[in-house]
Amino acid sequence: IRKLGVTPDTNETYLDQFRQLIGQIGNAMGYVRMIRSGGLNTCSSSIQFVPDFENLISFEDHTRKSNLPSETISAAKHLDDVISNLVKNFTEGTEYFKILVDVFSNEFRGKKNLHLKHFYVIVPPLTLSFVEHIKVLKDNLTKKSKVNASFTDDGFVMGVAYILKLL
């Protein structure tokens, strides 16, 4: 299957190009995971200044009861909104992977893409191509010129898992 065809412009097999496409899908999933982790980290860093986020007090109510100026009441309302949004984002945690699966699964399972239901058949050759690719990248680490060298690449694995979940 390795010799099925080589593209003239890149001198890569179609299998290698397909493996790279799946790797890019997986890298996009990894990017979503990284952004989510960064958001949760920022949120947790900010919420440390809220003493008890399970029993929030209303600053707006307290400023109204104290007969403070309308600008202060407006600022207190904004503070209440910010704190409640922060608590909501910290405690809820949006499931981005589930959203991505829900959005794309109908398209992948549609009549237009019926051929994808046999995707599992090409996973073993793709995996062998991936292993050979990783081996070359790791071998390049030991060379003086570290061009095309890497020690890890989880994009392909994430991409295959995501596509199999969609199907």
Give the mean pLDDT of 147-157: 76
Evaluate if residue 2 carries a pLDDT over 60. Answer: no
Evaluate if residue 145 carries a pLDDT over 90. Answer: no
**16-63 pLDDT tens trace:** 888 899 999 999 998 988 888 888 888 888 877 878 777 888 889 888
HEC string for the chain: CCCCCECCCCCCEHHHHHHHHHHHHHHHHHHHHHHHHHHHHHHHHHHCCCCCCCCCCCHHHHHHHCCCCHHHHHHHHHHHHHHHHHHHHHHHCCCHHHHHHHHHHHHHCCHHHHHHHHHHHHHHHHHHHHHHHHHHHHHHHCCCCCCCCCCCCCHHHHHHHHHHHHC
Quickly state the pLDDT bin for 146 (edges 50, 70, 90).
Answer: low
pTM: 0.72
Give the mean pLDDT of 79-105: 82
Give the mean pLDDT of 118-147: 83
